[in-house]
A = this chain, B = another copy of it.
Amino acid sequence: MAKRRQAVTIKHVASDAGVSLQTVSRVVNKEPGVRPEMASRVQASIDKLGYVPSIAAQRMAGSRSYLILALNDRERTIADWRARQGTDWLDQMLLGGMLTCAEHGYRMIVELVDTHSDHIERELMGAIAALQPDGVILTPPHSGNPLIINLLAAQGISFARIGSLTEGPGIRLIMDDTRAARIATEHLIAQGHRRIGFIAGPDDYELSAWRVDGWREAMAAADLEAVDLLGDGDFSYASGRAAAQALLALTRPPTAIIGGNDQMTLATLDVARERGMNVPRDLSVISFDDTPIIRLARPPVTAVVQPIAEVSARAVSLIIADLGQSPHDGTPVTVAAQLTLRESTAPPVAVENGT
């Protein structure tokens, strides 16, 4: 392979325009203090020669790398890819993140990191040393990991934390899971449901607890008993089955169940079917994730739609702003999730009395 060098460098532009390297650099970086006529002359040469700065050189010279790292959980991401169930968390993230990056001349690089590894630190530092990203986007469960957060802060890298409210450095963004859970629960209550179950996610995802909180709040506000209606899951289909089975085997089973994510909701649907129950007639179901599998299920499932693309876009914007003049003030940013009604929810056949 022939040794490849930059085809057209800042030098070519400088000599073509008859100015110094520095002037070209200033024009490229839109720095002030260049006479308009000079600037347009330089710009003309840039366009003519098709000059594009090398990010490697820019980074080397102490400027930016124009790279933003999106850190995702390795195990879960690979499992989702392999399962081919249409889980599109990462896709939505790319949609929002990549496009926003592109608008600002940045690129997004996806990096998978083991959550439960004892050498997260080495992995992360390796990626940072190799790539020298200007910013990092953390997704759950990394976004709440103090090790990662402090490491990034120590490196002086701008980073966004999606789905975490844990105190600490970094730009925090949430989708207000508590509110979304409350709205979902209220919707069921408004339909006449009194016994509403909730299948929670695992503890290492902060949002698991938030969702439970929203459900609890709505139940309490309506004076409904919730204590025995909380199912225990870990986001997996199997855990969803177990939780749904336990809930439906109660003496006074719920007439509606909210699943903490799509897989557990799907499991609930299957368990209900196996028990000869019709959804939504005998059991209403709401999912806390609007993946294709939920949309294509029979019946199509009412779901909380997470604005992942929008959150990612915001995360990128905020990181880039933070890099520049307007450092982030630390206030968490909220992007509202929505409840999309479909055919899996209906008033209960026989309304029971709460408590």
Contact = CB atoms under 8 A, between A and B. Distances in A.
B81 A132 contact: no
Interface in A205-249: none
Given A59-B56, A98-B112, A99-B78, A86 B292 contact: yes
A48 to B, nearest CB: 12
A56 B132 contact: yes
A129 B52 contact: yes
A7 interface: yes
Interface in A60-86: 60, 62, 65-66, 78, 80-82, 84-86
Interface stretch (A37-45, A155-163, A176-184, A250-258): A155-163
Contacts of A155: 4, 7
Contacts of A51: 129
A320 to B, nearest CB: 11
A62 B3 CA distance: 7
A53 interface: yes
A35 interface: no
Contact of A50 (B8, B125, B295): B125
A109 interface: yes
A131 interface: yes
Given A86-B292, A94-B81, A95-B78, A131 B157 contact: no
A327 B55 CA distance: 28
A88 B102 CA distance: 22
Contacts of A189: none
A131 B112 contact: no
Which of A86, A132, A156 has its CB near the most chain B CB atoms (within 10 A)?
A86
**Which 8 A-B pairs have CB atoms at the shortest separation, nearest pair first?**
A86-B86, A86-B292, A52-B129, A81-B95, A56-B56, A56-B59, A2-B156, A296-B296
